[in-house]
Structure 1
Amino acid sequence: MGYKVAVIGATGNVGREILQTLAERNFPVSEVVALASARSVGKEVSFGEDKILKVKDLETYDFKGTDIALSSPGAKVSSIHSPRAAAAGCVVIDNTSHFRMDPNVPLVVPEVNPEAIAEYTKSGIIANPNCSTIQMVVALKPLHTLGKIKRVVVSTYQSVSGAGKEGMDELFEQTRGVFVNDARDPQKFPKPIAFNLIPQIDVFMEDGSTKEEWKMTVETKKILDSTIDVHATCVRVPVFVGHSECVNVEFENPVSVEAATRALSKAPGVIVVDKHEPGGYVTPVECVGEDAVYVSRIRKDPTIANGLSFWCVSDNLRKGAALNAVQIAEVLIKDYLKK
């Protein structure tokens, strides 16, 4: 027996990826409804290879009878419609930032804390973490089990798709402009992104951190362990899809490179590619369309006691958003919403 599933924000990058992921993983649906704002009503989106869905108006949609909603319309819209859907008996898996730190809303990465899904009954909402947090904690989980992590210092190299279609368009237009001598002023980003790096993602906070950096800190604590200290520097880079991270980990106890590599190689959702030769690592271009978090360049940090560093990349639209949401839905129907 299938489930009636609504995809909120179906015309956006993540919404389209959710539809594709549901189809690819043969999620047991009886019906899929594509929802978006009024200006998108009537547009068509693909579901699988041969199904076309016409977009319906989120504002007027009645969620009664809908089992699960996978929501990624932006935080402001979600703050209104996710509680509305939950009140109608629909379990909402929300991909926006609005509910992540709500104590009544579980924040879930299925490879890390699937047991937290049980708490969905408090609000009817499950939060999907930030894309940069997801890939990091998937890699940190087996290491934390191995040696108990004290501190993480992470630098991220985040693709423009994390800023939506507008970010991708801006990179394309600015890159094109360089070659045809038609300079384009930045609109989505605070500085030009083509052939550049921007050490700011989201707004600045009082302590000088950006909100993206704050998210990585507080979300890691909520998902993995509240005692772990996290210091993040988040950078936007001229890559269309795929986030990369350099992660430095300090453990309470000694952890060898060999033991860490074995633990990561056995971990769900992780693929280790770590050859000490030119090209013996994974780059963001290679991870596009893939489900895994790829880990490379695992090495000892001799400057601190019990330190290791590694490089990880992942498709931020898949594991960093759509896939993680669908995986939550899969655990939800297996353990809690059985029909």
Structure 2
Amino acid sequence: MGYKVVVVGATGNVGREMLNILAERQFPLDEIAAVASPRSTGDIIDFGEDGRTLKVHNIEHFDFTGWDIALFAAGSGPTKIYAPKAAAQGCVVIDNSSLYRMEPDVPLIVPEVNPDAIDGYKKRNIIANPNCSTAQMVVALKPLHEAAIIKRVVVSTYQSVSGAGKAGMDELFNQTRAIFVGDEPEQSKFTKRIAFNVIPHIDSFLGPDSGMDGYTKEEWKMTAETRKILDPEIEVTATCVRVPVFVGHSEAINVEFEMPISVAKAQGLLREAPGVMLIDKREDGGYVTPVECVGDYATFVSRVRKDPTVENGLALWCVSDNLRKGAALNAVQIAELLGRRHLKKG
């Protein structure tokens, strides 16, 4: 027997990727439903490579009763309305928005990092999926933390425009085309021109009362979520930057440990860690860039080296497909974990 699964926000970038990954990983399905806003009702979308299609249902009229799992990729607004409804009707919600991540009674899960936390899902019938940049970073940090205990993380991100949805991807494409043909690039989604540029600003700025004055909400997410997922004692400071890349987030990470850890030891741990692919050669091209990670499940780590500015420090480069590990893949992995531990069928 399989599961009855709903994908909410099925017509968006992440929702479509969720459907792709459910099919690719042969998730045990008895039934699958695609749900989205009223403007997409009746649309036909592909599911899997065997020519199967799904008709999109209207979220406003969808009954979650009898469904096992709902993967939400609809944004905080619709999620605030419909996730509690689904949960109350007995369907376990796995939410990709930021709405529930820091709620103390909602598990925030990266299956390779804190799988045991999923046992708390029954309190609200809701499980949160972390921010895309947090997810890939904690996958890389987990084996190192277990070996030498992380004290402090300094991270700079290079985040692709797909993190801002279809509108972000369209803006990069249209601005790039405009520049090539000599037109004035139009700007609407981002605060500055993104084509041939970088923008050190993702999400809104926080004020003095936040305790992180001058940081952005995206940077706060990396700090708060890393502590909730990995260890509340870890200090994290982040600078999050939007770059003119369509898909794939990159991170330059400096880590300070309580105990000594050699580069060779770290490389060995990362080589064996679940979800990590170590590609670290001291030669031209001996590292992974966003172009190579697109469509892959792994979190890639390269350029592992000693940080000589602290007593026990390492620096590394981390790359992942943000639509996959940063969103859709992690949600499906949570569903798989939930099935193994709590919703066993047959």
Task: Give the structure-2-normalised TM-score.
Answer: 0.98
In the alignment, which residue of structure 1 is the partner of 2:340? 334
Q: CA deviation at 1:43?
A: 0.8
In the alignment, which residue of structure 2 is the partner of 1:34? 34
Q: Residue 322 of structure 1 aligns to which amino acid in structure 2?
A: A
Q: Residue 334 of structure 2 aligns to which amino acid in structure 1?
A: I
Counterpart CA distance in 1 for 2:256 and 2:80 is 37
In the alignment, which residue of structure 2 is the partner of 1:43? 43
Q: CA deviation at 1:266?
A: 0.5
In the alignment, which residue of structure 2 is the partner of 1:107? 108
Query: Matched residue of 2:155: which SS?
Result: strand
Counterpart CA distance in 2 for 1:202 and 1:186 is 16
In the alignment, which residue of structure 2 is the partner of 1:211? 217
Q: CA deviation at 1:163?
A: 0.1
Q: Residue 138 of structure 1 aligns to which amino acid in structure 2?
A: V
The structure 1 segments of at least 4 consecutive aligned residues displaced by more than 6 Å after TM superposition are none
In the alignment, which residue of structure 2 is the partner of 1:173? 174
Q: Residue 285 of structure 2 aligns to which amino acid in structure 1?
A: G
Write the deviation string for residues 242-292 of structure 1: whole angstroms up to 9, x where unpaired.
Answer: 000000000001110000000000000001000000100000000000000
Q: Residue 165 of structure 2 aligns to which amino acid in structure 1?
A: G
2:298 counterpart of 1:298: no
> What RMSD, in angstroms, separates the aligned Cα atoms of the two structures?
0.5
Query: Matched residue of 1:55: which SS?
Result: strand
Query: Matched residue of 1:153: which SS?
Result: strand
The within-5 A match list for 1:1-339 is 1-49=1-49, 50-206=51-207, 207-339=213-345
Q: Residue 331 of structure 1 aligns to which amino acid in structure 2?
A: L
Write the deviation string for residues 64-117 of structure 1: whole angstroms up to 9, x where unpaired.
Answer: 001000001001110111110000000000000000001110000000001011
Query: Matched residue of 2:282: which SS?
Result: coil
Query: Matched residue of 2:5: which SS?
Result: strand
Counterpart CA distance in 1 for 2:273 and 2:177 is 41
Write the deviation string for residues 116-153 of structure 1: whole angstroms up to 9, x where unpaired.
Answer: 11110000000000000000000000000010000000
Q: Residue 53 of structure 1 aligns to which amino acid in structure 2?
A: L
Q: CA deviation at 1:2?
A: 1.2
Query: Matched residue of 2:42: which SS?
Result: coil
Counterpart CA distance in 1 for 2:311 and 2:99 is 38
Q: CA deviation at 1:184?
A: 2.1
Alignment gaps of 5+ in structure 1: none
Counterpart CA distance in 2 for 1:298 and 1:88 is 47
Given that 2:280 and 2:304 are in contact with CA atoms closer than 8 Å, whether structure 1 keeps it comes out as yes
Counterpart CA distance in 2 for 1:276 and 1:70 is 41
Q: Residue 196 of structure 1 aligns to which amino acid in structure 2?
A: N
Counterpart CA distance in 2 for 1:331 and 1:282 is 28
Q: CA deviation at 1:200?
A: 0.2
Alignment gaps of 5+ in structure 2: 208-212
Q: CA deviation at 1:183?
A: 1.5
Q: Residue 143 of structure 1 aligns to which amino acid in structure 2?
A: L
Given that 2:176 and 2:185 are in contact with CA atoms closer than 8 Å, whether structure 1 keeps it comes out as no
Counterpart CA distance in 2 for 1:316 and 1:219 is 16
Q: CA deviation at 1:185?
A: 2.2
Q: Residue 29 of structure 1 aligns to which amino acid in structure 2?
A: L
Q: CA deviation at 1:304?
A: 0.8
Q: Residue 10 of structure 1 aligns to which amino acid in structure 2?
A: A
Counterpart CA distance in 2 for 1:277 and 1:197 is 27
Q: Residue 299 of structure 1 aligns to which amino acid in structure 2?
A: R
